[in-house]
């Protein structure tokens, strides 16, 4: 039996859902009672089609489903737009961090926005800029002689190896000048180490001023200096060495005193005098000491002749 849908007050009527020929109806049963004697006279049955109500309910459910689907779609689209707007700049920051970790300290995010993401990117770029300057300064100090400001022995060895490989590929000549201050110990013993340091600084300035920008003057150690001259034949290297020798000879060196010094130099050339850094350095060093034996303040370019 079907459960009644509703009942009237004091049992005045009862509704049941029924199907007639497949169509839904609400059957309303109303008992007829004689008010005077209370005798039951019969029952009035009223059939009301339930189709409009069911259609209305179905439409309401479809509209509710449509509204829910549209709401979910809009929410999803907003989430995607938000995620895209955040993911892209965050990916730029992550890419920049990865590049820096691999050694590219010049990498930046490239983000220019006036919001929290822009502030984060600006902070990251500022940190990267500071880190790059710090690392570059550390590297500069690692390859620079503190006293003279010239490249130090470490950088000299690195650059000479690099220039030899480049000369080998290009077939161009490469020269090396090895210089040493004559009687430098006398300067320290007679005038003190402060004056000796000043002499080294002045010689370094003269070297920087009288070589090309592509050449590399270095302090090899103590009072010894070297100059790497890429793509330079022997005759041109001799001109440079002689110019440096004359500049040192003619320049007063001391602080408050007329202090004069001279230099001796030996020159070697790739590949005639060697194809390795050790060979070139050894040949130039031997010729430097030959210059010392020949009276100092001169340049030697081979094992038998003075330049």
- Catalytic-role residue among 223, 231, 247, 293: 223
Widest distance between CA atoms in the chain:
159
Residue 61 has a CB neighbour count (10 Å cut-off) of 10
Nearest to residue 147, comparing CAs of 200, 220, 210? 200
Residue 36 three-state SS: coil
Catalytic (active site) residue 223: yes
Question: E-strand spans in the chain?
Answer: 6-7, 14-20, 23-33, 40-49, 174-181, 216-221, 224-230, 263-270, 299-300
CA 290-295-297 angle, to 5 degrees, is 90
Residue 118, both tokens: 């822009």
Measured CA to CA in angstroms, residue 31 lies from 7, 10, 28 at distances of: 12, 11, 10
| Residues marked as catalytic | 223
């Amino acid at each position: 039996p079907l459960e009644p849908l509703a009942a009237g007050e004091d049992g005045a009527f009862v509704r049941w859902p029924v199907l007639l020929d497949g169509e839904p109806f609400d059957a309303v049963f109303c008992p007829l009672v004689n008010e005077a004697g209370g005798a039951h006279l019969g029952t009035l049955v009223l059939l009301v089609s339930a189709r409009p109500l069911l259609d209305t309910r179905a439409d309401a459910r479809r509209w509710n489903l449509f509204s829910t689907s549209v709401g979910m779609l809009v929410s999803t689209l907003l989430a995607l737009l938000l995620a895209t707007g955040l993911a892209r700049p965050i990916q730029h920051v992550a890419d920049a961090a990865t590049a820096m970790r691999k050694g590219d300290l010049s990498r930046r995010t490239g983000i220019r926005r006036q919001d929290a993401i822009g502030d984060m990117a600006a902070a990251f770029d500022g940190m990267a800029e500071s880190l790059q300057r710090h690392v570059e300064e550390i590297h500069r100090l690692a390859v620079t002689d503190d006293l003279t400001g010239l490249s130090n022995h470490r950088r000299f060895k690195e650059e000479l190896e690099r220039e030899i490989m480049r000369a080998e590929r290009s077939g161009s000549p490469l020269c090396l000048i090895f210089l040493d201050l004559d009687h430098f110990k006398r300067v320290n013993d007679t005038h003190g180490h402060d004056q000796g340091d000043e002499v080294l600084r002045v010689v370094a300035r003269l070297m920087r001023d009288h070589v090309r920008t592509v050449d590399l003057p270095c302090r090899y150690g103590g009072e010894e200096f070297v100059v790497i001259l890429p793509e330079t034949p022997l005759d041109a290297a001799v001109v440079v060495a002689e110019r440096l020798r004359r500049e040192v000879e003619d320049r007063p060196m001391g602080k408050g005193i007329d202090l004069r010094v001279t230099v001796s130099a030996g020159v070697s050339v790739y590949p005639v005098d060697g194809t390795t850094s050790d060979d070139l350095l050894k040949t130039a060093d031997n010729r430097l000491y030959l210059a010392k034996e020949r009276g100092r303040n001169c340049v030697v370019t081979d094992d038998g002749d003075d330049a």
